[in-house]
Amino acid sequence: MRLTKNPRTLAAISFIGPVVLALALLAILWGTPGPTPLNLSLELSGVVSLSGVLAAALFSAVALSRLQKLVMLVICAAAAFASAFFSPVLLLGWVYPVWFLVRCYRESTV
C-alpha cells in the first residue's frame, strides 16, 4: 500500500512538525543568556511528549475505533488551540497533524 493512501500513517508522520518546532524553541530558550522561563520549557516539553504519544498510537497495529480517533483529534485540536496562547509559532506546527487526523477520522473503520 502506498504511503499516500494510508491516512493513519500520514497522520503519525505529521507530528514531526510540532516536535521539530518545539525542540527548536527549546534550543533557542536554553541558548539565550538569562533565566530560562520554566513554564514555557515545560509546555514545550509537553508538546514533544504529547506528539510522541499520539504518533505512537497511530503507528501501532491496534485498530482504532471511531471514538478513539475522535478523542485523538480533540486532544490535537486542543493542543493547537492552547499553543496559540503560549507560543503562536508552534500553532503552525499543529496545522498538518490536525488536518491528517481529520482525514484519519473520516476513513472507514474496518
Model confidence over 34-80: pLDDT tens digits?
776 777 788 888 889 999 998 998 888 888 889 998 999 999 999 88
pLDDT of residue 108: 65
User: How many residues are given for the chain?
Assistant: 110
How far apart are alpha carbons 44 and 39 in whole angstroms? 9
Residue 28: how many other CB atoms lie within 10 Å: 9
Judge whether 8 and 57 are in contact, CB under 8 Å.
no
* Total number of domains constituting the chain: 1
pLDDT of residue 33: 75
Range of the domain at 24: 3-106
pLDDT of residue 40: 77
Judge whether 110 and 17 are in contact, CB under 8 Å.
no
Q: What is the pTM of this model?
A: 0.78
Cell of 87: 507560543
